[in-house]
Structure 1
């Protein structure tokens, strides 16, 4: 798990940006939410081990390093192999499970209510140190490549 606990910054798409729009559309995100996510110029995410519980982790997403229009989202705390509740920006709740599977970090999200399909997010460290992130929903799949980046930690992150 240690190799995943760092900050990564978006580098490129595999197969095109439109695949990500199809995944998010299948996952029930409306047009404005999808376009907002797609407009993030250099999104970052960080997996952070909890400072108070070494068995728990947080996934912190940022739309950019800084700026008035940037947003931050935190999923967690999560323990490997255990379910936890996470909330999407539109307030939809999901049962989320995080597992290590043969060198891949797999996150499965199942909606608590409604008919929103399951989302599976797979993260894998490549030989070059980049992280390959694949999101799959209803047969739609999108892959993004993230490069290791300097940690971005706010005072809010320090408390996690």
Structure 2
């Protein structure tokens, strides 16, 4: 469960800022989103005609499947997923240690290497998420020793 990250105003604001930075860093970004493992959209940028909720659901399923394949083959941790198409490429990355995934569509003006680097930086920027501490009905947020709220950490070795 995502502990309702998509409803936490502090998390949503942070996600929007991270995606704005990605859009600023890469003019070839067509669409970008941050989503929870259970398929809820946290934030999006350059949505155009994209149905963010539907895309988040599909991207979540794809992330879970790719991580299951990696586990089944015992080849380490999944780093990213790439879908290459004639008019662009989709890159998905797990935010390290979190139940959050970054999914981004780049047009063909961006090299795959630059798109991978841009999404890696953005995923790293998402690692320290602020939490309001407000309960949303999905369970209590964890807290650090200093009392600062933390996210539930994702362990890719465990079945989701």
TM-score calculated relative to the size of structure 1: 0.37
TM-score calculated relative to the size of structure 2: 0.37
More helix by share: 2
More strand by share: 1
